[in-house]
Amino acid sequence: MEIIDVSVPVRPGMAVYPGDPQVTLERVASLAGGDIANISRLALGVHTGTHVDAPVHFIDGAPAVEALPLDVLLGPARVVDLTSADRLDAAAFDGVDLPERVLLKTRNSELWKLDSFAEDFLSLTADAARVLVDAGVRLVGIDYLSIGDEAAHGVLLAADVVPIEGLDLRGVEPGEYELVCAPLKLVGSDGAPARVLLRR
């Protein structure tokens, strides 16, 4: 069985969404300094790198990340090739078969070569988000740091669709996979970093 890690490595200096905290990782105890173990401190925003959004990210009083249904985060998924799309609106999904879990491979994946945030990334419009909801999609992933604008987030999160943002799909061929998405269980949080694997 092939296992593909589609998570973005978390490290200081990586691209983060404008306004989000930068990543810091520092050694606070070290063997070299005479301590009994190496111990590090990590600080980052919960929407750093590969992560999931919870409904409370855009809807006050909605469920937080620890309440996400686990059955949505594991199971069959389809990587859909949208690398030729210039816009992720409703028309981009004409004729596209949308299963319960769909990962969108776009030209965004190439943006991971950059350390700075790329303003020209593709994301869903609100009408595209509505197409996914109407098709019965329960989880949608995208290959950069945001699934869409406020309106698109609102459509997805109000329908309990789980967005996975920040996937690295550069080395992934379109097709059928088994998805394993394991976000940190951060109580009360609007999002959580996740390790995401594809198996086939």
**Which residues are known catalytic residues?**
57
45 vs 141: CA distance, rounded Å = 19
How does 36-64 read in b/e, with b if 16+ C-beta sit within 10 Å? eeeeeeeebbbbbbbbbbbbbbbeeeeeb
Calpha distance 59→155 (Å, rounded) = 11
Listed residue (190, 61, 197, 82) closest to 132, CA to CA: 82
**Torsion angle in degrees (nearest 10) through CA of 150, 152, 154, 155:** 170
Element (H, E) at 29: strand 24-29
Q: Look up residue 121 and give its DSSP letter.
A: -
Residue 179: count other Cβ atoms within 10 Å of its Cβ.
23
DSSP state of 87: -
